[in-house]
Amino acid sequence: MFNTVRGMRDLLPIEAEKMRYIEQVSRELSKLYGYDEIITPVLESYDLLAAKTSEEIRERMYTFKDLGDRKVAMRPEFTASIARLISTKMRNEPKPMRFFSVGSLYRYDEPQYGRYREFWQSNYELFGSDRPEADAEILMLTNNLLERLELKNYLFKIGHTGILRGVLNQEGLDDEKQNSLRQLLDKKSWEEALEFALDTGVSQQCLGVLKSLLETKGEDVFNVLEGVKETVTKYEEAVCAVDNLWKIIELIKESGEKIELTVEAGFARGLEYYTGMIFEAYIPGLDIALGGGGRYDRLIEIFGGEPIPAVGVAQGIDRIALALTKQKVSTKLPKKKSIVVISVKEATMAKALELSSLLRKSGLLVEVAVMGRSISKALADANRRKIAYAVIIGPKELEQEKVVLREMKNSTQRTVLISKLTKEILKD
């Protein structure tokens, strides 16, 4: 007997329906915002996926050599693949470009609540604009998605990589050390992060600034930003980052969007490609991020294209499904009336298949009774599965171009002309 590989899951109908529901709402939203769907491969070159992600993700990729001796990996996220596509095939397309993707991703994480080795994201990327309204769009889109899904009590944590980067650049810390520091912050290992900074030999002033940044957060966003600006006043690049974040939040607030934002000055995301605003959506108490994203203006350039600014977000479909279940929010797609077509005799089976095709053409959901059961057993099964109608096809009725239409709910049945069958069902 075979089981699933550790960390891999079978999604049974109830779970699969939830996932597809979230996918559908995500896709509808992508259309409302003008994001065109693209499909990129699950398998990419290892080097592409490894560049500028994070040490943690690099270590946790499913990597292998294909039969042509190429080092490949299963994608741990969409952003690298989409940036590859932009830098190779779409470099000269008019800007902005907006792309939506949905699909499965792979990370060899330790399986636990809300953390899987195969998981799903709905991903939105906006290329070509370095302006704060592009950042605002990505944040508002994420807020709108969670709103449409009727999720409650979710909050946004927002920061800017330029704040820490501005401070550390001026202190002369190289990219590698900055990445290591960010990883520690991403894991919320504050003490370790400060010790690491101390070991790199940064100034006492810098240590003081870092400590203060790690302690600075709050929902009174402009007051918090005012404070952050004062803290980093001696670091020009960091001051610019605060101003940029200010502008983004101001745009969102002034647009009237209802969004719960907490500014966290020391907030870092694991991925190395971020250059600007970064954010995550989460539900307090449910200790996992539902989605996250930010600005990454240098990635396309690193992949060999023109520099093209970009900002994007990925929502974790599995985690949103968990949150919706916890909050008992319905995730059912509207169901159409379902019908079972039952043939009384073998001789009328071909007619049953023909009629089921005819009914489906009118958009009705039709199953054919394929178990060879007696009529009463087939009807009992239809009752158990809450099917609305049974169409019973027998030789006697067929002679007059008729069938029996049975309403399962109240066990009433009547004989109807085949030519009127669809109308009869649709009129109820």
Which residues belong to the annotated binding site for L-histidine?
A: 77-79, 107, 121, 125, 269, 273-274
Q: How far is the CB of 274 from ligand HAM (least distance, A)?
A: 7
Amino acid code (one letter) for 230: E
**310: how many CB neighbours lie within 10 A of its CB?**
28
Paired with 368 in beta bridges are: 341
Does residue number 268 form part of the binding site for ligand HAM (CB under 6 A)? no
Is-contact 277 295, C-beta < 8 A? Answer: yes
Site for ligand HAM in 321-350 (CB under 6 A): none
Nearer to ligand HAM, 123 or 143 (CB): 123
Q: Name which position in 159, 166, 292, 394 contacts ligand HAM (CB under 6 A).
A: 292
What CA–CA distance (Å, rounded) separates 30 from 33? 5
* Amino acid at position 199, single letter: D
Rounded CA-CA distance 250/136 in Å is 9
CB of 291 to ligand HAM, least distance (A): 5
Return the bridge partners of 126, or none. Answer: 98, 311
Min CB(317)–ligand HAM separation in Å: 8
Scanning 24-32, 163-171, 314-322, 404-412 for contacts with ligand HAM by CB under 6 A, the matching segment is 314-322
The residue (of 197 and 277) whose beta carbon lies closer to ligand HAM is: 277
| 313: β partners | 124, 293
**Residue carrying structure tokens 């330029």:** 162
Report the C-alpha gap between 35 and 27 in whole angstroms. 9
Q: Identify which of 332, 338, 392 has the alpha carbon closest to the alpha carbon of residue 364.
A: 338
Q: How many residues bind ligand HAM (CB under 6 A)?
A: 26
Distance of CA 270 to the CA centre of its chain: 18
Is residue 318 within the footprint of ligand HAM (CB under 6 A)?
yes
Binding residues among 196-225 for ligand HAM as defined by CB under 6 A? none
Residue 83 or 238: the one with the smaller Cβ distance to ligand HAM is: 83
Does 79 participate in binding ligand HAM (rule CB under 6 A)? Answer: yes
Which amino acid is residue 1, in one-letter code?
M
Which one of residues 162, 276, 309, 312 is an interface residue with ligand HAM (CB under 6 A)? 312
With binding defined as CB under 6 A, does residue 177 bind ligand HAM?
Answer: no
Map the footprint of ligand HAM across residues 106-125, applying CB under 6 A. Answer: 107, 109, 114-116, 119, 121, 123, 125
Look at residue 274 and give its three-state secondary structure: coil
Contact between 141 and ligand HAM per CB under 6 A: no
Distances (CA, A) of 229 to 172, 219, 238: 20, 16, 8
Footprint of ligand HAM (CB under 6 A):
77-79, 107, 109, 114-116, 119, 121, 123, 125, 271, 289-294, 296, 312-314, 316, 318-319
